[in-house]
Amino acid sequence: MKITSARLIVCSPDRNFVTLRMETDEGIYGLGDATLNGRELAVASYLEDHVLPCLIGRDASRIEDIWQYLYRGAYWRRGPVTMAAIGAVDMALWDIKGKALNTPLYNLLGGASREGCMVYTHANGKDISETIDAVQKEMATGYVAVRAQAGVPGVASSYGVPKGTSSYEPAERGLPSEGLWSTERYLNFVPKLFEQLRQHVGEDVHLLHDVHHRLTPIEAARLGKSLEPYHLFWMEDPTPAELQSGFASIRQHTTTPIAVGEVFNTLWDCKELIERQLIDYIRITVVHGGGISHLRKIADFADIYQVRTGCHGATDMSPITMAAALHLGLAIHNFGIQEHMRHTTLTDEVFPHAYRFDAGYMHPGDAPGLGVEIDEALAAKYPYQRAYLPIARKLDGTLTDW
Ligand code: EZ4
Ligand code: CO
């Protein structure tokens, strides 16, 4: 089965998505997600100008060989743009293989290891009481795990808290906005948030929290320690992870589980973190981690060290990545949890999909391949719009890590 053509669909149904569509001479096509939040067109160009021309005429069944060809053959390795492009090609090829064999992707990855993938969603509020309401609302919808973020008193526009009344979306259209940050106020506030939360929602629901790389290791250690009474499912991205050994000091001080990796793109970004058992959950996901083929390798490596997966699943992972993550999550032994930030109705209409949510768990469905389509006519009505993640500065103007 030969690849006959491949093209990109760039659209913005409420937010930007870059989608690869690959056709074969047997009439089977595959879809891949290539969305890199705030840098979308760089990946589109990488694919269109440098990758897709090399793929025409190649055997679509040789997924591993094409992966190695793109990773090793480019000479320039790794990085989010490169790995998102490889990820899109890899997803499309797995989609084609599933359709060719008439079976859902999870079946090709070893079959289901569980009935469904536990997911967590987001609850955000401008203060503690709004956040408690938001967590209770998500629990009522059926979620058994919820990430809680609240506005920090004295810190304008805190991470994860929507401006106005619209639902939270990490990217904002136009040029990047700049918010303020105070580590001192944050560290004093967060334990109060979770103390109140546990009082109101009880002990059973899993609570998670995202620090978004804004602390030093010793500050993160203090936070983890102060949150121990409220037994979080995890503390996410406590400190920037370029320095992997930095996590050792967090580990020495706290039993709060640690999740990291949504900005990683290969195993090499987390090798030491996993090998030294400095983390509990690895958050790298299919699109940004070089596709299903590479993520499977990371998950298998992590399994040896009792590290489980907790794939990034914010709205910038298109429904194609969401499906891929659910197929992988259903199949691998060391699945931990999957992030599920619901897409807007319009996004779901552009990407009709077989995956479904039921009582806190998600299933990828049994359609052949990934089980996601794209309505190109609808997508065409929503062209790309420039958008960025916001930037934050400390009270004295210093740029934060995020
Ligand atoms: O900043 O998806 O856990 N989720 C997050 C998100 C990420 C964006 C990055 O594109 O941290 O808000
Ligand atoms: Co995060």
The string of pLDDT tens digits covering residues 220-261 is: 999 999 999 999 999 999 999 999 999 999 999 999 999 999
Q: What pTM value is reported for the model?
A: 0.97
pLDDT at 87: 98
**248 Rama class: left (phi>0) / alpha (psi -120 to 50) / beta:** alpha
pLDDT at 164: 66
Q: How many helices (H) and strands (E) does the chain have?
A: 14, 17
Distance 212 CA to ligand 1 centre (A): 8
pLDDT band at 176 (very low <50, low <70, confident <90, very high): very high
| Cβ contact 305:274 at 8 Å | yes
Atom of ligand 1 nearest to the CA of 160: 12
pLDDT band at 185 (very low <50, low <70, confident <90, very high): very high
Q: Which of 175-179, 192-196, 269-273, 382-386 has the lowest mean pLDDT?
A: 175-179
Distance 120 CA to ligand 2 centre (A): 12
Verify whether residue 159 is a known catalytic residue.
yes
What value does the mean pLDDT take over residues 62-81? 97
pLDDT band at 39 (very low <50, low <70, confident <90, very high): very high
Distance 170 CA to ligand 1 centre (A): 6
Report DSSP state, residue 32.
E
Percentage of residues in the chain with pLDDT exceeding 90? Answer: 94
**Mean pLDDT over the full length of the chain:** 96
| Cβ contact 51:20 at 8 Å | no
Percentage of residues in the chain with pLDDT exceeding 70? Answer: 99
pLDDT at 240: 96
Please report which helix (H) or strand (E) contains residue 320, including its range: helix 319-331
Pocket residues: Cβ below 6 A from ligand 1? 37, 170, 210, 212, 262, 312, 314, 316, 389
Q: Which of 93-102, 164-173, 356-365 has the lowest mean pLDDT?
A: 164-173
Residue whose pair of structure tokens reads 């319009």 in the numeric block: 346
Please tell me the distance from the alpha carbon of residue 28 to that of residue 245, in angstroms, as a whole number.
Answer: 46
pLDDT band at 165 (very low <50, low <70, confident <90, very high): low
Please report which helix (H) or strand (E) contains residue 358, including its range: strand 356-358
Distance of CA 357 to the CA centre of its chain: 17
Given a cut of 90, whether residue 209 has pLDDT beyond it is yes
The angle subtended at Cα 228 by Cα 226 and Cα 234, nearest 5°, is 105
Residue whose pair of structure tokens reads 């053509």 in the numeric block: 5
Q: Please, is 255 exposed, middle or buried when counting C-beta atoms within 10 Å of its C-beta (0-12, 13-18, 19+)?
A: exposed
pLDDT at 155: 85
Strand partners of residue 172: 388
The residue whose CB lies within 8 Å of the most ligand 1 atoms, and thus the one to mutate among 169, 172, 214, 316, is: 316
Catalytic residue among 29, 46, 120, 159: 159
Please tell me the distance from the alpha carbon of residue 149 to that of residue 285, in angstroms, as a whole number.
Answer: 22
Strand partners of residue 31: 21
64-72, Cβ contacts within 8 angstroms, sequence gap of 24 or more: 64/293, 66/90, 66/93, 67/290, 67/291, 67/293, 67/294, 71/290
